[in-house]
């Protein structure tokens, strides 16, 4: 029995160590992957420490070192549960808006669990040593339920947002929660199994998360990089729509006799707009936000000629000193004008704002047009639906940014672009 328990945990630790080395050398540096690295390291240490405790127990050395190792391995278990809770938050927040408190939900539960185990040698509430034997205390199951409660919370959260996850991603994430919960139930009924089943179930779940999510995502990233290179030309040029060119030139044509000075200004703006698109076509690296903003101003100046008083434009720019992928904001503004305000009988306002926070920059494009856009319907851009997705993918690939859309029919649409500060952008 000793060989089976110690051997299984040592083998599990070796596998986790291999994954940890692979993760350190291949994964991109972002919050989600940092969480996985911490989980892998904590899982490796947890298995090693627990293997030592089994060895000490079978050799009759249930003494001070045994107690220290037991508390340490259990504390690492709580740490893994808390970090995975934040991992779930990071993962889901890439798909849908989730409040920050969700990511820290598990901290107080796990912290309480650690405290209970640390003081248990003095209180005997969770466990105690009697005649050289480790015995569960009256609060042992309560301490287990603390971690299980956090895992169950993550389970419910994942189920609620399951439509925003790929099928295999859902299987991997849910397995991380289901397997440990099953292990807890079995341990309640068969106490002699102890921590082995729980720890190994966590290890198997981590393997599934690593395999189905991160390896798959790395492969998808490479495929997307190649695909985006091919799509770049068509996506950039799709911003120069024939009907937009026709309307702009037609407006300039009438201005030539009505207001030559304004016509001259419009021609300059039109020229700057075309130059901005062509410059973006040649740019592979992130560009200064001010350059993107100039391009947006030229575009909106031309659209203003078309919609006149039906289009109001508000700039609330409080942060400029950052970079982002070229033509990131302009397609969002274009959609706000054409499919938000442009479809409203009374016109409306497009507001472009930027903010700086401790860890990120935010650009918000807000319109009070018809609204009602949903990712499922994909009717926001009115075309082949690759504009928004292309922007989102380029944000993720080039600067680890994100794009979140909130829309309500009859109220309008708000698009939030987030650019983290600790990126190459």
Q: How confident is the model at residue 10 (pLDDT cuts 50, 70, 90)?
A: confident
Q: Has residue 194 got a pLDDT over 80?
A: no
- Can you give the pLDDT at residue 18? 77
Copy the structure tokens of residue 338: 């054409």
pLDDT above 90 covers a percentage of the chain that reads 22
Report the distance separating Cα 325 and Cα 131, nearest Å: 67
Copy the structure tokens of residue 227: 């695909």
Neighbouring C-alpha atoms within 13 Å toward the C-beta of 185: 6
- Which range (71-80, 273-282, 300-309) has the least confidence? 273-282
- Can you give the pLDDT at residue 157? 85
- Can you give the pLDDT at residue 376? 53
Copy the structure tokens of residue 58: 């079978």
- Which range (30-39, 91-100, 234-243) has the least confidence? 234-243
> Nearest Cα to 155, choosing from 179, 172, 171, 178?
178
- Can you give the pLDDT at residue 368? 93
The number of residues making up the chain comes to 425
Q: Report whether 105 contacts 87 (CB < 8 A).
A: no
- Can you give the pLDDT at residue 196? 56
Report the distance separating Cα 305 and Cα 324, nearest Å: 28
The overall average pLDDT reported for the chain is 79
Q: pLDDT higher for 240 or 298?
A: 298
Q: Has residue 244 got a pLDDT over 70?
A: no
- Can you give the pLDDT at residue 24? 76
- Can you give the pLDDT at residue 385? 43
- Can you give the pLDDT at residue 180? 65
Q: Which domains are present in the chain?
A: 2-223 (1.20.1070), 239-420 (3.30.565.10)
- Can you give the pLDDT at residue 363? 96
| pLDDT per position as a tens digit, 201-240 | 767 776 766 666 666 666 666 676 666 555 554 554 454 4
Report the distance separating Cα 226 and Cα 241, nearest Å: 25
Range 43-48 average pLDDT: 86
Copy the structure tokens of residue 275: 């130059």
Range 86-98 average pLDDT: 84
- Which range (97-101, 135-139, 147-151, 386-390) has the least confidence? 386-390
Range 239-264 average pLDDT: 70
Angle at CA 414, nearest 5°, toward 166 and 391? 50
Range 376-405 average pLDDT: 69
Range 35-64 average pLDDT: 85
Range 176-192 average pLDDT: 65
Q: Has residue 150 got a pLDDT over 60?
A: yes
Q: Report whether 46 contacts 123 (CB < 8 A).
A: no
* Sequential DSSP letters for 115-172: HHHHHHHHH-SSEEEETTEEEE-TTHHHHHHHHHHHHHHHHHHHHHTGGGS-HHHHHH
- Which range (199-213, 234-248, 277-291) has the least confidence? 234-248
- Can you give the pLDDT at residue 233? 44
Q: Report whether 96 contacts 110 (CB < 8 A).
A: no
| pLDDT per position as a tens digit, 342-390 | 888 888 999 999 999 989 999 999 999 898 876 555 444 444 444 677 7
Tell me whether residue 151 is exposed, middle or buried, using C-beta atoms within 10 angstroms of its C-beta: 0 to 12, 13 to 18, 19 or more.
buried
Tell the residue number behind the tokens 């700086």, with chain if given: 356
Q: Has residue 167 got a pLDDT over 70?
A: no
Range 327-343 average pLDDT: 87
């Amino acid at each position: 029995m000793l060989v089976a328990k110690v051997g299984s945990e040592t083998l599990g630790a070796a596998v986790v160590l291999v994954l940890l080395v692979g993760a350190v050398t291949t994964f991109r540096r972002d919050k989600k992957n940092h969480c996985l690295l911490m989980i892998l390291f904590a899982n490796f240490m947890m298995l090693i420490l627990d293997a030592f405790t089994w060895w000490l127990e079978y050799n009759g050395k249930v003494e001070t070192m045994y107690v220290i190792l037991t508390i340490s391995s259990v504390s690492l278990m709580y740490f893994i549960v808390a970090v995975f809770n934040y991992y779930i938050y990071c993962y889901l927040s890439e798909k849908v808006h989730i409040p920050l408190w969700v990511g820290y939900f598990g901290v107080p539960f796990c912290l309480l669990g650690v405290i209970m185990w640390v003081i248990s040698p003095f209180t005997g509430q969770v466990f105690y040593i009697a005649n050289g034997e480790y015995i569960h205390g009256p609060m042992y199951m309560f301490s287990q339920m603390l971690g299980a409660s956090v895992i169950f919370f993550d389970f419910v959260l994942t189920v609620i947002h399951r439509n925003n996850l790929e099928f295999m991603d859902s299987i991997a994430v849910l397995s991380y929660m289901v397997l440990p919960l099953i292990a807890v139930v079995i341990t309640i009924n068969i106490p002699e199994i102890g921590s082995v089943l729980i720890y190994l179930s966590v290890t198997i779940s981590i393997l599934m998360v690593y395999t189905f999510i991160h390896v798959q995502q790395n492969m998808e990233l490479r495929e997307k990089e190649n695909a985006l290179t091919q799509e770049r030309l068509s996506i950039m040029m799709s911003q120069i729509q024939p009907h937009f060119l026709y309307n702009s030139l037609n407006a300039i044509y009438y201005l030539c006799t009505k207001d030559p000075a304004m016509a001259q200004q419009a021609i300059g703006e039109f020229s700057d707009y075309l130059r901005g698109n062509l410059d973006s076509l040649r740019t592979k690296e992130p560009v200064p936000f001010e350059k993107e903003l100039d391009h947006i101003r030229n575009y909106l100046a031309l659209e203003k000629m078309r919609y006149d008083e039906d289009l109001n434009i508000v700039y609330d720019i409080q942060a400029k000193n950052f970079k982002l992928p070229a033509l990131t904001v302009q397609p969002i503004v274009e959609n706000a004008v054409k499919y938000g305000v442009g479809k409203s009988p009374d016109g409306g306002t497009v507001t472009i704002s930027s903010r700086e926070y401790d860890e990120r920059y935010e650009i918000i494009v807000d319109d009070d047009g018809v609204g009602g856009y949903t990712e499922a319907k994909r009717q926001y851009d009115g075309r082949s639906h690759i504009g928004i997705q292309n922007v989102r993918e380029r944000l993720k690939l080039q600067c680890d940014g994100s794009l979140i859309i909130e829309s309500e029919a009859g109220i309008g649409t708000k698009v939030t672009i987030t650019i983290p500060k600790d990126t190459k952008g």
